[in-house]
A and B are shown apart, each in its own frame.
Chain A
Amino acid sequence: MEKNHPINFHLNSVGLKTLLTDKMMIIAYLFLALAAFGVIEMIYERYFLLSATAFDAGLNPGNRDVANAMKEAVFGHGGEVKREAPWSLYIVSYMYMIYVGSGIIFLVAMAELFEIEIIVKPAAGFLTLGLGMLFAGLFTIMMDLNVLNVHWMLLSPQYGSGMWLMMPLYMVYIPLVILEIYLILNHQKEWIKKVAFMIIVVGVLVEFVEFYVQAKLFDMNSARHLWTTYPILPLYFMVSSFAASLAIMGLYAYLVCKSQILMHTLERGALYFVLALGAYEAIAYLFIDKKWAEIILFGSFKYYFYLYILLAVIIPFALLFKHYLNKYFKLVASLSIIVGTFLGKMIFVYGGNAYPMSDRFGVGFEKYGEYEEVKEVIFFMPPLSEIAIVIGSIGVILFIFRVADLFFSVSVVEDKN
């Protein structure tokens, strides 16, 4: 494609045709179309599907719609959110995208600070990628929330709530990242350094706050002991995120920068975090409440857990611990980490809800009706709309990255200096 000013910060002129026919954009659109399908489904079910209360029959006597709604309520699948497992795939995806995205930003900022040239060169691309992931995460979480009421986050703030702290956090964080990308593209070298230093300081601070807040978000749920007994939860989040961040950066290096050396460097980094993650999980389960640990390690979650360890730790370790030069090994290792850590987050979120809250009297799980079965483990398949939105959110990353690339050439690695 044609650039007006390949070096200086300028807006490329991009035709509508390019925006529509660009290969990467088409892939982004496909993902976004999937997300759109999910969103429409979700909106329909959440806001338009008739749901019946005890009053409805009296308020609309003989109404067939109400009758059908009542039938659905009693004999149907029971609504979008399951009371025993309120947090689901949305939260998994949100956590993953946000952590891994901000992990990338954090790592790039560090590289800027310590002048690790190999990473600094494609910094704008990395940062845009990270930013894209942040937005993808925010997109999924917005779909999970009742967006009609989100303004109350501003109008009725609750400073002590982990959930609320997310908002000011990203309100500071995202502009900061955009600022940095801007500076990089503008070649304000000195500024970069200064700003990068500032960003590093603020960024590291925010980063730690973020991981702390996220951990708080889970840790405040005192009843879900998986989350409360995980030792140094923010550290766990960081370790697993950095592993995934480096894997994604590696993938980026391979696909966009086409730089094997860069990839190699990043994968080395990933290896350390993978090892740290493995060590972490091994130690963590010594501390985790055994009710949850049993379900995850030996109960119905065990195969998912093994798969997680296999993908996130064992396979990458096997492929990376020697300096294999085969790029495919590294590619597979990256993909394995990316999928594995996602699975890890899933186990974390779903696992937290896995042990039912219904053992209120300490004499066994309670059932709510005579003919119901006792639930000893809680797991619900997420609805199709949710899966579509989560997968479709990849489109958000691709879209943001590609648009930024087309207009601002963020992926261009300039070798002038």
Chain B
Amino acid sequence: MAETTFSRLNMRYGLIYHACDANMAVTDMDSDEADKSRFVLSAETLGDGNYIRIFGEKIPLFSPSVTSYKGEAVFAVFSSDYETSAIARRDAKINFQKLEEGDKVESVPKRDEYSFGNMLLFQEEEENERKEEESTEETLSEEERNQKKRELKKISTTYVLERCTSPDFVVFKTTAWIDGANLHIMVPSEYPDLIRRNVSEITSYKFERVIIHPLEYHAPNDEYFYIPIKTACIAALAAERLHLPVEIRESARAERGWLKYDFTTYLDGEKPVASRISVEADLGRYPYLWREFQRQTMAAIIPPYHLEALHVEVSVKDSETMPSSLFGSLGYSEALGASEVHTSDIAKAIGKNPLEFRLQLFDEKRKFTDFMPAVDNSELKNITKSVGGKSYFERKWYSSFLQNGEFGLIGKLRGTGIASGIGISGFSTTFVTENEFQALLTYTQKDTVQINSSAFSHGTALKYWKRIIMEELGLESDNQVVFLPYGPDTKDSGPKVLSRFICNFSEQLRTGARRLKQLKESEKPPFSLLIDVENKFSPCEFDSGSFGSMVMEVEISESSLDVVVTRLWADFSLESVAEEERLMNAIKQHILRKISVLGAKLSPKSKMHVTFSHRSSENVAAITELVKGLTVGSLSNAIKEALGGREITLPVTAEKIRFALREKGEKK
């Protein structure tokens, strides 16, 4: 890797001007170009080079003529210090003109469907009549007609998660400088290769000549996913045009889109037999990861229990809001939470407590689908039972019936919610295959093995991978295995830390090491081998290995209408754990952050009881999505229970609670 040396003597410091609203036409812009000490970059100055590509989606660096969303970059101004740039940005005269409703371009929602079984058997009567007129006469057999006559009970749930923003507004710096024929960029980024590709396309520097120096970062809600790619491109363009080092200061933030889940489940007695699920998602302008969102949502929304028929439809639309980033999970956690809310609704509708209902539902093995493998549910059943027992869930749930969501003499509402589920590992197989995450293994003349990839995680994973190579190749010292840091020769654009890589890369590495051993006998070193980080022939989109269950107890105060989490019990069963203390801290932090994002609070007297067990296998499964999903599910169930089953959208606010209680009162 090249050294990060550059002079700050002639550095230009840049700030970005953001649009005040969406759908505003920039009619006139005067950013004081006469002053030569300032340099301005905008859509006008860039022309055709104003566009970058993020996972196939074409995104402008600056608003071309009409602002797409509030907060979009309109121009960047560079000068000798930040104070001057700030003054220039403040004094810029820009005339915006709000577009008429008719001038807006409506986008077509992107739909994806998945189904098994014959949903026609479970259609509503009126819909059946319509279908019968059209085609069912031919499609339904006599046996199926008899089956249709079963008396089915229909349970529906609508669950809405409103748009929300990450609580941490963190400032980061992007530095670009030219060193001879190379363009260097220093930026905190999860996808350095994506930056290299984009920078090489919009500047005159070839891919090999762009050198990225990734900075350390902490992004609990994936704040550094999308914005650093933009700032790196802007800084590169400015450095190229000015021939001076450039630094941009920008805030990293993340937004989660608006999500709506509609569930309809048909019950034959107490047994669910069919489900129709429809998911609507608004992922903001330029939904660059919509296909991955659909896959993750499908993986979470398909219930772990047996159904005769299922139909899931996930539609993604874009709107005039900031592009949604991953926000810690790309749809899996939210979908898992929504699915758990629906499961509790079914239990309530048939007069059972949610814990008992869940235990009754879980079959021995989960049905194999395109998205999830046939996982053994017995571990999930055990964990759910254990958490239910520890938290005295059944007693608490029955006692909440007495209150039934009305303020009594005690001046507060209480509710207890449960959620349980299976964790997935990172991104889907399709996503990883599309993005060609690879690793280069080189056997050198000095009998050492060099591994070049950006998929490197923390030290424990590296130790584990070293052991694999040493075992397979019969190496004696661990100094013979070298992991190269990210550099110009790195072979993929994967994020730095992703459990899926640890899990799949271990298996791929073992296969690669065996092949190296064969080559060693026939070839003369040095020789190299390019392997995929991911097994491309995996039958399912996701791997699973972790199970978890969570019970949450909330109180809603009559005076402030604040939702306070008073007690929390969680238990997880994982494949392997590298550092127990670090994992425990991570679990707690994810839970606390998610509670905060969803609008609930913790009091000083709140208590968390988190435990986990592991099977010490070679497999590694992500905990983040599962923890967040269970937090969403159990908190939503608890709030719903406290409000006597009234629907409420998250993030929760005092106003929403007041409205929900008043609405019920009016109906009475």
User: Does B associate with A?
Assistant: no
List chain B positions with a Cβ less than 8 A from chain A.
Answer: none
